Amino acid sequence: VDRGVPVLCGALTPTEVLTAIDAGVDAVKLFPVSSMGSRYVKDLRAPFPRTPFIPVGGVGTDEAARFLADGAVAVGVASPLLGDAANGGDLDALRERARRFLKAVQR
């Protein structure tokens, strides 16, 4: 932060979010959100209305749209998008997953 480099700080609890905000981060990466659900982002918006939240960790196509609708500025996806493609798996399946993600978030 001190050097002007954009920082996405990982946090989950409100105390961790506040610590990240106080450090001057650009956005808070909520991790892992898979067990919290999109409602958690909506709940955090009340005490932190100007904080950009980016849910990460188990965000699939169905969850991505809900997180965005509930106030996230973006979502981070890895395994649900990549599947086995990173290990030489099916690239056609990767393309299809990418299409589904795009469709889900462009509503």
CA atoms within 13 A on the CB side of 71: 20
Q: What percent of the chain has pLDDT over 90?
A: 83
Spatial neighbors of 86 by CB under 8 A, at least 6 apart, are: none
Instruction: In whole angstroms, give the CA distance from residue 42 to residue 18.
Output: 16
Domains and CATH numbers, the chain: 8-77 (3.40.50.12600)
Contacts of 36 (CB under 8 A, 6+ apart): 12, 30
d(CA 53, CA 44): 9
Predicted local distance difference test score (pLDDT) of residue 107:
65
What is the C-alpha to C-alpha distance for residues 42 and 74, in angstroms, rounded to an integer? 14
Residue 59: is its pLDDT beyond 70?
yes
Question: 71 and 46 in contact (C-beta within 8 Å)?
Answer: no
Q: Is the pLDDT of residue 57 over 80?
A: yes
Quick one: how far is CA 104 from the chain centroid?
A: 14
* Structure confidence by residue, pLDDT tens digits, 72-87: 999 999 889 999 998 9
Nearest alpha carbon to residue 85 among 73, 98, 72: 98
Q: Is the pTM of this model over 0.85?
A: yes
Q: What percent of the chain has pLDDT over 70?
A: 99
Q: How confident is the model at residue 58 (pLDDT cuts 50, 70, 90)?
A: confident
